[in-house]
A = this chain, B = another copy of it.
């Protein structure tokens, strides 16, 4: 078989490029439930991610207890205030941004990283945080599958991890790295929210591409 035969047909490639292009970090949701089968497909997509040494270091907590949801929201509000203070002159501008949709999203998930410890040397001896990369890849898969299902996802990283770990009774070798808001949306933004809100303008790919070595004149 010719190796070029591994290429997907044009319609399939177009669908894949479309979802990569149309994925958004979503902060505003409309309240209607997600079918269990849909949620299952999305979680299976996360679980199909690559992982260093096949370690599968991700765990996902589905938050179904409304009191727990409120407690997580409160933790994020605390960190939002601390981030605002740390931002100094952009404090007020930051506080006008909507940074999470924890109380409105259909499903609230917490993404966690389990440290396999000294047993997990494969691909990690010199880069121990490769396990974190594996969980991030899983969340990106989850994000793309959600978009294909017409669902928005927001990765909220504004929380004190030890406080959230205590709330969710994590063991010492695990830490929460993502509060994931998943749900139906009114509309998907045409560009990243932080660009539309003029918080920051994205840079083009050409700024990120070098050849053979780091250029002498770069940031």
Give the B-binding residues of A (Cβ under 8 A). 1, 3-8, 11-13, 15-21, 23, 25, 30, 32, 41, 43-45, 47-50, 52-56, 58-65, 68, 79, 82-83, 86-87, 94, 114, 121-127, 129-130, 132-137, 139-141, 143-145, 147-151, 155-161, 168-171, 173-174, 177, 184-188, 192, 194-195, 199-200, 202-203, 205, 208-214, 218-219
Q: Quick check: B17 and A16 within 8 Å, CB to CB?
A: no
Chief secondary structure at chain A's binding surface: mixed
For residue A139, which residues in chain B have a CB less than 8 angstroms away from its CB?
A: 133, 137
Q: Is the CB of B127 within 8 A of A214?
A: no
Give this chain's copy count. Answer: 2
Contact B68 A212 (CB under 8 A): yes
Which B residues are in CB contact (< 8 Å) with A209? Answer: 43, 59-62
A23 and B56 alpha carbons, distance in the complex (Å): 15
Q: Are A210 and B132 in touch, CB under 8 angstroms?
A: no
Given contacts A3-B186, A18-B12, A214-B174, contact A49 B140 (CB under 8 A): yes
